[in-house]
Amino acid sequence: MSIADCRIVDLPRINDPRGNLTFIEGERHVPFDIKRVYYLYDVPGGEARGGHAHRQLEQLIIAMSGSFDVELDDGSAQKTFTLNRSYYGLYLPRMVWRELTNFSSGSVCTVMASRRYEEEDYYRDYDEFAAAAREGGQ
């Protein structure tokens, strides 16, 4: 997988004067069945989250409130996405290193994942990840 496989997903929006609604359906709006959902909040100023890659897991990352940057690296190229709309999700395939930075005050990051938590799916050392990415990733 590579940075080229990462993309913004424009989620459906139903506009209503009483408040807007967005919904997400696994295997329809994201290319996987959603197995886990978690969220990050109250991230102190200047702190970063992420700092890892996944061997198999795919994700959709959404800024439910506020904004933050998602810095991506596939071992040979880098790209940064700024998320600041609750109706945009960032799709991340497997084997892409990610750092979440520049959290605005009150921001909430929601992540939908294709797998349940499995520690063995993580690359937490960048050099180990980069070596695996050069070899085709696994």
* Residues carrying an active site annotation: 52
Secondary structure percentages of the chain, helix, strand, coil, to 5? 10, 45, 45
Three-state SS at 50: strand
* All residues at 6 or more sequence positions from 12 whose CB lies less than 8 Å from its CB, including other chains: 22, 23, 29, 87
Q: Are 50 and 100 in contact (CB under 8 A)?
A: yes
Phi and psi based region of residue 51 (left: phi greater than 0; alpha: psi -120 to 50; beta: remaining)? left
User: Which residue intervals of the chain are DSSP H helices?
Assistant: 126-134
